[in-house]
Each structure stands twice: as structure tokens, then as C-alpha cells.
Structure 1
Amino acid sequence: MKTKLLSFFIAAVMLFAMAAPVAAADSSATKTVDIRVKAGSTQMKVDGKAVQIAAPYAASGTTMLPTAVFTKGLDAKLTVKNKSVTLSVPKHSVTVTIGSKSAAADGKKLSLPAAPAVKKEITYLPVKVAQSLGAKVTVDSSTKEIRITATVAAAAAPKGSSIDSDSGKSKIGDSYYEWSMNYPTGLAQDFQSEDGDQIVFRDVKKNYYLAVNVEEIPDPMSSEELRELLMMMYVDEDETIIDKQTVTANGVSYEKIATKGYGGFYYEFRAYQANKKVYVVIYGKKATSLADLRKSTGILDSFKSSFDRSDRSIKDLTKITSDLKTFKNADYGLTLTLPRQWKSNSVNQTPYYSTNDGAYLSVDVTSLVPGDTVEAWAKRKQDLFVNIYLESYRKTVEMSDVTWNGVPAKMLKLSYSMDGTEWWEEYEVFAVQGSYRYYTELAYPVETKNKYGTLMNTLLQSMKINFKTVEQNFGNIPDESDMVDWTKTVTKTDQEYGYSVTVPAAWRSGPNMGGGFSAYSLPGGSFAVMVFEDMPDPQTFIADMRDKNVKQAAENSKFKLIENTTVTFAGKTAVKLVAEDTRNSFKYPYTETVYLFEHKGNVYLIDGLYYHANGTETVKKQLEDALNSFKLN
């Protein structure tokens, strides 16, 4: 529940999305990057240096950014499979679908304020994607620029030795993905994805570049579709197209695009379709012209969409030897086996694994509090689940005794839904050994039960953690989400804007974005205070917001304005709006209460929201108490 259930509750409030904190990293291998972009501007600044991009634009209350912001600014790896686009950084991964607001961040459901779109062969994503990649997003009120700050990997020399050093090997290839080609002389393997469907080679001076990307696309694609794939997902928007054609040679047809990029680099992109896959092979070098580039593209002519297992001159670079993959984590002494479609991610620096269809597995280790037991721990989790889900959105919790990693354990089976339509199943395993507690969580959409329904039984047999390794590598690790006193409150004061609010100490506080904005996530909803400064006509602004809600309710039967009144709030005359939204689009069905009033030329907005699935008396009372606690100082 720690990983999945609470993730539902960290939602964007009515007008602004909460920025995610930048993940901590080893300063010797990382650097902090400062990115600034602005809607309508074709210039992005990265640490003060100008980079040309396609202009971002505003849509549906958010800013849409071209993929270059993520790949060039955040050093994100881009993977494309049909309409699915995945951006990955060392600790996070986000998968979106062109035309859909539904996405996945680190394997968990994510709702986007606007659907990713393709315009003039350029893919645009909402700025919220940057937050899900671990970046902090703020707005510079003076320049109207969006500022994105994050920790990214520092530049490093290519890893490993030159691939020319393999005695007797004159070719490389991948037996699983069925491709082979001549050795790229003088280059070293610089990167290979976890599944091996992306591999990159470079020279030490970074004057040459070779990449092979494999897209599993079973349906035949036309020449136009293959070119569109290259243009949309591989060619950067700031590159100049200098050649584009269909080529047939030695009985093989492929699409070819050549470009001129920055820093004197020229590239040739080729797309081959075979074996129910599309192979995208890219070669680049610092050159003086297209003719100069073509002097070195012979390596591309050696590419074949086949792998001859009897040819001992081929070095097999495959990472997949069966339908299963073994994952290891040295810090935890962890070893486990999962189907090959699973990928590893680091969430809060704990072992985390996920699939593109929403399933995930997480492992966590925390310190044992003296006097606590595995039975009491599991019971607290069960009680929390019951307290934050209405009966109509959950099924009876099943608790059982199991053996995990050779020790007695408790297992909970949970079934729940956030909208009454899409259901999830979740298994939670609780174990205690020595001075540490071990928690394993597996969750998946019920519609995928045929794939993952028996996986927990397999994990109970095969998953291993070395307890001695944990004892050696970790000190005290408190579980701050457990043994929480929900009656304890804390008063937060904003001296600049003269207000205070009292909220449960256990609520998660969002990052301080300044400008009088503060936000909190609670089990079942969100709470926020926003101050709109120096409004030329505060009452007109408030009236406009009121009218927009009235109009929205008139136009959509699934958006109901339950209350639209004028009340006294915090000693001020305020507009109170209570809305019920069951559209299940940007957010799960929810009820939201908003107070709007003017004070010293500023407009104050106090917002409380709970999801219908979590509308228990406990959740609603916490939210109501927080709203009523707001005071002007």
C-alpha cells in the first residue's frame, strides 16, 4: 500500500500540479541542470546556454514541451513503440501514449492534464512529465519562463574496452532480436538498455556515433509510416534534413534519412522492417558535408536483420537468453526472477520493478521498532486500507500465513478501485528478521490477472534477500508512513501572505513553489492554498472563476456544482463552490470544495479535494477540519 495506494492520493490540485523533488545522487557522478523554456519561444536555455527547439505551446491549462527538452535538457533516453513513448532517466521512467491523457510513471498510473500530441512531425508532452522524471518545475513570475531543475548524470567516457579487442570476432549482433553487422572499428559500447533493444557505440573523442534500436511492431508499415517513425522519434526537430529516400539494395528495402545537426555532426538514419520488428540503425560523425559522411557509412551496409548462430565470428550482445530475467540488487543482497517484459526502476532508492501495462513490484526494508510484531504491522496496514476506502470501492481483505525467504510472514490480498470500474489486486508480504522489517508489494490491474495472478506464489519461492548484507549495509531506517498518529496536527504559517492553516502532521507537504502556494497530499485527496497577487480587479477574477464552473456544470452532466454560495470564511466574504466531477478523465471521480475571497488586493483560493473511492468519514473530517482551520493573521 505504501507504494501504490498512496500514489493515488498525490494528485494535482485544481490549478497547479505539485512538483516532484529532485532525487538525491552522488555528486561525483551527477550534476544539477537548470533549464528554462517559454511558450512560443524557440530558444531553450540549459545552464544559461541557448539551444534551439520547437516552440512550446499552452494547452488545457498546461505547457506542452517538445521531446528535445527532455532528451537534450534532462538527458532522458527516448524509446518509441507504435504510439507509445517512453522517457527514462536513471531513477525514473514515464510512458505516455500519443492522444491519451493516461500514462504511467515508474509503473504507476498517471493522469496528464493534456494528451501528448504530434505537430509538424514533432512530439509534445505536458510539462508534468518532467516532474515525473524527478525534476522540479517552477514558474518565474517576472519572465513567465518555466524553470526545470534536476540532477542528471555527468558526462563520462565510454564504458568498457574497445569492442575490437574480442579476438576472432569480426561482427556483432543480437541473437534474441535477430540482427547482425560488421564490427564498428575503433568504437566502444557506450550504452545498452536493460532489455538490449537499444545499443550505442562511440569513440573516446565522441566524433563518431553508432546505434541500433529495435521496435517490436508486428504490423507491416508503409514507406511513409517508416519515415514518420524516424522523423517523429529519432530525428531531432533542430536537425536539417538533407536527404530522404527509399533504398533497395541486395534485395532489401529500407527508408533512409540524412541530417545535419549541431557541432558539425551529420547523421544517417535507416529503418528496416523484418521479423515483426523495425530496426532503426543510426550512424553519425563530425563531417564537412553529406559526401564526407557517406565515406564512412559502409558499416550501415553490413547490417542484416538476421543472426546466424553457427557463425562464430559474431559476438552475441544479447541480454535475453529466455523468457525470464534475473534482477539483482547488491545493496539489499536481493535476487529475483521476473518475466522479460519487466523493467527495473529506482523509486526512493528502493528496489522497484514494473511493466508497461501497469503492474509493479516493490521491496522495502525498514527498522524494527522494539516491541512491534509482524502481526501488528500487517494489522495496521489492513486497518489503514479499510479507513481510507469506502466499502463499495474495496473487497474484503484476505490475510494469510506464508513463508518468505525462509522466515514466517504475513500476506494481505487487497482488491480496490478508484473509479468503480477499473479494479486492482495487490499482495503485500510482511516479514521480520533480526532488527529489520521486510516488505514486498505486488500490484496489477485485474484485467492483467491472467499474466500476473500467480506471480506472487512464484516470488515466494524464488525471491531471495541476504539478511547479513542488509545488516551490514544499513543503519536505522524508520518507516515514516507506519505507526502514524493521525490525530496529531501542525500549524503552518505563511508570513509573507499573512495566513495560517492547521493540518494533520502526517499529511505530505508538497515543495514550496513560492507566491503563497502551499499544497498537501492526504490519504484520499489533496489540500492547497493559493494566492493570486496584485489582481487589477479581484472581484472580477473571482466572478470569472465562478462563472466558468457554472458554465462547465451546464455543459457536462458529469460535472455538478453542488453548492454555489456566498459565505463568511476566515472573516471575509467569500465565494464557496462545491463541485462533484465524475468524468474520470484528468482525475478519478472526486468532490472538491473551494473558497475564493479578496484580501489586500490579492485573491486567496483554499481548495480541498477527496476522491469518491476514499470518501470515508475519516478522510472527509480531516479535510473539513483543515479547511475550517484557515486563518488570516
Structure 2
Amino acid sequence: MFKQARLKNILTLVLTVLLVFSLLPGAVLAAQQNTGSEVTVQLWPNNSKAIINGENVTIQAPVELNGTTFVPLSVITKAFGAALSRKGDSIVLTYNDRTVTVTIGSKTVLVNGSKTTVSLPPFIVKGTTMVPARVISEAFGATIQQDRKSKSIFIKGQRASSTGSVSANGAKVGDSYWGWSLSEPAGLAISTQSQDGSYVNWSGSNGNTSELMVYSYKDVGSLTNDDIFDYMQELFEDDETTLERRSANRDGMRVEIAITRTTDDPTVYEYRGFSKGNDYYLILLGVKGKDKSGLSFYQPLLSSFQPSFDRSNGKLKDITKVKDGTIEFGDDYYGLTMRLPLDWVRDEESYSPQFYSDNGFFNMEIYTLQNGDTAEKWREQRQKLFRQNFAQGYYKNENKSEIDLWAGKALVYSFDFSYDLETWYRANEIYWIKGNNKYFFTYNYDVKTGAQGEALFRKTMASLKVDTALIENEFEAYDDYTDQIDYDAKTTKTSSAFRYSLELPTYWTAEEDDFESEQFYYSYDYFSLYGSVERKTTLKEASDAYYEASKNDAEYKNVTRTAVPIGGKDGVRIMLQFTSGSGLPTTEYTYLTEHNGNVLQLMFTIYDANATPETLKRLEAVVQSIKFQ
């Protein structure tokens, strides 16, 4: 579990000039604005004239004391749609996610728990509460300009998104796959949704800095209240502390509620975790400020959460990303979209779009079309290459066919293959040509999945789409490497220090190629060559030591030693078999010969599935190319 970066950008409130409103009939303001709409107010100091959203109205003239302008509180609440409640001499205003507390006779104003000091305290005149306009306007995010010549003051802001935290029309949102629902948040919009929909984030706008998150987990097992709290703590910030924690039961579910606060970027959070059967849900709300009273506005929203989804509710909007057990995967660079089951993931280290699960694998590559290329010739070339590099007995059930893609037919080469003769996979290679590019798709699945695996392959390819216009105009394709391999091309490597030379295929990759040192290393897709020189020893000493050590190592089996000529000298080949770290049957061929008091060793390691006669012949050719000086 992880916690998204939450509420890190503190709203920058616009510093305002001292403003003044007078008492305005509530019906006038209430009729002029809808929730979330723009509020404009123009007024003049010590003047009962005002213009509210373009309409002339008469207000009680403002009061100015020692440079501080006071406005009747009712003007603020009605113009901006803020809710108001009184607690003795304290007055609490609620505007979207903001809670502003002013107290008659006190210079301290609380905005979501953060203290602000004003020069003069609020007061009451003839039953009308007068408050400093500046701090209230700042808290509501209004922008204010003053025309010095006319002395008029212009205020521009937003009416409260809602008189509550939930949609007034009773609308709901939820996820039919993950199985939850809640009232549609007022003043919040979805800003992030994970690929599978298990995480959803709503963020505020127009000055609303609140954030709502819903996390869903399936098949985690039945959780205790302590387990639920542990899940919550995994999302805590480093500076986050628990203010309250309480447990409850609701309709047979375990519910855990925690209220927390961060200090570096003061924010209060309310966590509500639900354990329903083997599933776990967490709804999390964050509000800027130090005071937990800022959460009060959102209690109806939090309490509306249900770990269930009622498909019969016509007002319930389904935001699920899961359709028929699949979710959308894609790659913007390749213009690719497709649908795969939820248990598939992307290989983030792959340079090309590559996705996999326990039982399947998909890859996409794009190559430049060469003169004379056809899909048929391309498929034949790939089949030939496969047979050259995969030993007989390790593949079977070859088949050639066609498949319908989103933009036409493509050719398919299918076969079963195995690396250990126990686990078998069905490979499907798709060849398609469009414009100046060749599109190569690979889809493999475990043959144990049978008809289900084949059906998923067909279903996946039916969902696949590629923006070929994007590829033609912006994508930098490269040549198919199979067109570039020259199996006959060789390069000669010479060691002056140890007075020998040998020939290596040019398509092998040099990992370490300093032949003046005591070792070198080359590799290819499925085998490697490690060369070394052991100083001041004899062939017999070196071969005896290696042979005996291999025979006595339980990791190795079928260890044999055979005398072979190497570079016109006596030599030894030691062959052994073992299981690689990836669990694949592997054979090692080690050649040793002596020259000038040193022993040259060549160790070839190759997967048994790739040990074709052609490949073994190339390895043997390297040994026979050795020349001594």
C-alpha cells in the first residue's frame, strides 16, 4: 500500500484590502447565485449603494475603524453561500472545505485551526455582527481590487460548491467490480484513478483544498480492528500522528476510524476502514488546517460510504475500470491499447511494451519495412531462425494461420515449446505490415490453461489497437535484428600477452573483451562464453582439479572428461549438466589446453533447449580456431 502525495500545495490566499459590506436582504443574494458559480460584488466605503452580480442593491453602509473595514456577517454568508452556526460568542462559518471561527471581542480568527490575528475584534452594532472583511475574504479565496480614483472595491470569488459535502440531487458513485459506493462528492472531482480502479482520488477546485481517497483490496482475509489500523498506518506520513481512534461494528462488519494530523504541511485526516468478509476498504479524507473541526463538513460524505454496489440504483454511477474481468493496458509511445486480466502487470524494465502474468506473456515490437518484405517471407524467416536456435524435442505442434486484427488480417505462427520438457507454453507470433513498418506481436500462455488460454489470446488480440498514424509520423522504428544477423561473420581476437588468437562470431555480445588480461566474457541470448588463463600450471593439474571438483559437487551431474586436440596441442573437454538459477536444464562445455606454461580455458554454458546441432557446431568452431604463437 502506498499513500499518494496529498495536499502538498498550500493554497496561496490573495491579500486583500479592507472591505466593507452592509446588511443585504437574504432573498436578494440567495436568488442571485447557484452553487459553484461566480460571485462579483462592487461597493463603495461609507455608501449604502452596492452592485451584486450586476444588480443594484441597497446595503447598510460599512463601518470603518482605525483603518480596518468591517462588514455585516450576514452579507458574507449569503453572498458566498457559507453555512453559519453559533456557539456562545463564537461564530463558525463553513465554506466548502474551510471552517472559519470568529469570536466577538477576540482578535483571534481560526481558519481550519490555524490562527490569524486581526487588529480589531468583531463586534455587534444594533444586533448586527460586524467582522473584519479582509480575513474572511482571504479564507474564502476571493480576489479583491480597489479603484483609488473612484474608491470602489471589486470582489470576485466563487459561491460555495454546495451547502453540504454531498451532491444535492442524491447522485452516487461507486465501483461495481470492487463493490463499493458513496454519495457523489460536492466540490470534488476525480483526479486520479489507478489502472485497475482499486484506488480513486478526488481533489477540490476553486479554492477547495480537500482530498478524498478510496482504496479497495480483495481476498486479504478477515481482519481484526488492529489489523485494519495497521493498514491505515502504512499510509501515514512521517510527521503524521493519531489524534483519535475508535472501533465499531456496522451490519456485521468491523469498522475502524482514526483521525490524524500532519505538522509540516498542517492537514487533518479521517480514516475509515471496513473489513467485509475477506475484503478490505478504506475511505480517507484530508482537509487543510490543524483543527479537526474542518472534518465536520464532510461527515455526511464519509458516512455515505457503503462496501456494496446496488446495480438497481438508477442514480448510482459506475466508475469501474474492470470490464468482463479485464482492464485496459497501454503505451502512449507505441500508440498501444489493449485489455488484459487484472493479474497481468507491465514489465517496467522492458524497452518495448511487455506484459505478463503467472500464465501468460505479451510483447510488441515495431521494425522498419525493408524492400521486398512481405508478411509471409517474414514469418518464414522467423520460423527458420527459431528452428536453428531451439532443439528438436523442445518444440512441437507447429501451425500457421491468420488472425483478424483491428485494421486487417495478420499472419500467425504458433507452436508449443518448453525449456525443461515439463512445463510447456503455447507461443503465438503475429506478423502484420502497415505503411512503412512491420508489427510483431507475441502472445504466449501455459498449455495447462488449455481452451481458456486460447480464448484469452483471441480475446486479447481482438481488443488490441495501435495508432498507426502516430507510428508513421512520430515513431522511430529500427531494423529487425533477425535481418542483421550474419551467422558466418567472424572476428579474430589476439592476445599478445599469452600468445594465442581465436575467431568469434560477430553477433556475440562482448561483456569483457580485454584479451591481454587473464579473462574475457561473451554472451548471446541463451548461452555464454567465459575464457580465462591460469598461469604457471599444467594441463593435467588444471583438468584434474576441475574434473574432481565437478564430480564432487552435488549440483553437477553426468560429469565426463574427454581428450581432444586444441590448436594443434593436447587438450581436454569436460562436460557436465546442472540446473540454472532460473531452473532450466543447462550443459557446460569446458575446454582446456596448455601453452607456454599457462592453461587456456574456454567455458561454454548453454540451455539444453537451445543446444541445436548448428549452435554446438559454432561453439566447436571457436575452439578449433585457436592458434598459438
- Write the letter of the residue equivalent to 2:524: L
Three-state SS of the structure 2 residue aligned to 1:372 is coil
Aligned length: 458
Three-state SS of the structure 1 residue aligned to 2:372 is coil
Determine if contact 2:187/2:208 at 8 Å carries over to the other structure.
no
- Paired residue for 1:613, among 596, 599, 609? 609
Distance in 2 of aligned mates of 1:295 and 1:328: 41
Change (3 A) 1:372 1:280: same
- Write the letter of the residue equivalent to 1:428: E
Three-state SS of the structure 2 residue aligned to 1:608 is strand
Cα deviation, residue 609, structure 1: 1.6
Distance in 2 of aligned mates of 1:577 and 1:370: 47
- Write the letter of the residue equivalent to 2:401: S
Distance in 2 of aligned mates of 1:184 and 1:359: 39
- Write the letter of the residue equivalent to 2:412: M
Match of 1:389 in 2: 390
- Paired residue for 2:280, among 267, 274, 278? 278
Q: Deviations over 1:290-345 (max 9, x none)?
A: x8998899575554212345667766432234445566666666565555655566
Three-state SS of the structure 1 residue aligned to 2:174 is strand
- Paired residue for 2:588, among 589, 592, 597? 592
Distance in 1 of aligned mates of 2:523 and 2:189: 47
Cα deviation, residue 181, structure 1: 3.9
CA RMSD of aligned residues (A): 5.9
Match of 1:362 in 2: 363
Distance in 2 of aligned mates of 1:499 and 1:300: 78
Change (3 A) 1:569 1:391: closer
Of structures 1 and 2, the one with the larger relative CO (CA 8 A, separation 6+) is: 1
Match of 2:414 in 1: 413
Distance in 2 of aligned mates of 1:458 and 1:344: 18
Match of 1:248 in 2: 248
Match of 2:51 in 1: none
Match of 1:6 in 2: none
Distance in 2 of aligned mates of 1:310 and 1:501: 77
Distance in 2 of aligned mates of 1:547 and 1:411: 51
1:110-259 → structure 2 map (5 Å cutoff): 168=168, 172-181=173-182, 189-201=190-202, 210-217=212-219, 219-221=221-223, 234=234, 247-251=247-251, 252-254=253-255
Cα deviation, residue 197, structure 1: 1.2
Distance in 2 of aligned mates of 1:577 and 1:208: 70
Determine if contact 1:258/1:269 at 8 Å carries over to the other structure.
yes
Change (3 A) 1:379 1:317: same
1:562-577 → structure 2 map (5 Å cutoff): 562=559
Distance in 2 of aligned mates of 1:392 and 1:555: 29
Distance in 2 of aligned mates of 1:495 and 1:503: 17
Cα deviation, residue 449, structure 1: 2.6
- Write the letter of the residue equivalent to 1:608: F
Change (3 A) 1:632 1:462: same
Cα deviation, residue 274, structure 1: 2.2
Three-state SS of the structure 2 residue aligned to 1:212 is strand
Change (3 A) 1:254 1:507: farther
Distance in 2 of aligned mates of 1:195 and 1:425: 27
Match of 1:143 in 2: none
Change (3 A) 1:172 1:462: closer
Change (3 A) 1:630 1:308: farther
Match of 1:305 in 2: 307
Distance in 1 of aligned mates of 2:209 and 2:567: 65
Three-state SS of the structure 2 residue aligned to 1:526 is strand
1:343-358 → structure 2 map (5 Å cutoff): 350-354=352-356, 356-358=357-359
- Paired residue for 1:559, among 533, 546, 556? 556
Distance in 2 of aligned mates of 1:553 and 1:178: 60
Cα deviation, residue 418, structure 1: 0.8
Cα deviation, residue 387, structure 1: 1.6
Change (3 A) 1:439 1:247: same
Cα deviation, residue 417, structure 1: 0.5
Q: Is residue 578 of structure 2 the alignment partner of residue 581 of structure 1? A: yes
Determine if contact 2:519/2:531 at 8 Å carries over to the other structure.
yes
Distance in 2 of aligned mates of 1:201 and 1:624: 65
Cα deviation, residue 199, structure 1: 2.5
Determine if contact 2:527/2:605 at 8 Å carries over to the other structure.
yes
Determine if contact 2:392/2:612 at 8 Å carries over to the other structure.
no
Change (3 A) 1:260 1:463: closer
Q: Is residue 479 of structure 2 the alignment partner of residue 478 of structure 1? A: yes
- Paired residue for 1:317, among 316, 319, 322? 319
Distance in 2 of aligned mates of 1:293 and 1:578: 75
Distance in 2 of aligned mates of 1:580 and 1:201: 58
Determine if contact 2:222/2:277 at 8 Å carries over to the other structure.
no
Determine if contact 1:239/1:262 at 8 Å carries over to the other structure.
yes
Change (3 A) 1:300 1:385: same
Three-state SS of the structure 2 residue aligned to 1:395 is strand
Change (3 A) 1:399 1:263: same
Distance in 2 of aligned mates of 1:442 and 1:210: 39
Distance in 2 of aligned mates of 1:267 and 1:185: 18
Determine if contact 1:353/1:360 at 8 Å carries over to the other structure.
yes
- Write the letter of the residue equivalent to 1:213: Y
Determine if contact 1:608/1:627 at 8 Å carries over to the other structure.
no
Cα deviation, residue 615, structure 1: 1.5
Distance in 1 of aligned mates of 2:235 and 2:498: 47
Structure 1 residue runs of 5 or longer lacking an equivalent are 1-66, 73-162, 598-602
Determine if contact 2:195/2:327 at 8 Å carries over to the other structure.
no
Change (3 A) 1:294 1:492: farther
TM-score (norm 2): 0.55
Three-state SS of the structure 2 residue aligned to 1:384 is helix
Percent identity over the alignment is 25
Q: Which structure has the bigger radius of gyration?
A: 2
Distance in 1 of aligned mates of 2:226 and 2:536: 53
Three-state SS of the structure 2 residue aligned to 1:304 is coil
Structure 2 residue runs of 5 or longer lacking an equivalent are 6-159, 594-598
Q: Deviations over 1:106-153 (max 9, x none)?
A: xxxxxxxxxxxxxxxxxxxxxxxxxxxxxxxxxxxxxxxxxxxxxxxx
1:533-552 → structure 2 map (5 Å cutoff): none
Cα deviation, residue 614, structure 1: 1.2
Cα deviation, residue 173, structure 1: 3.0
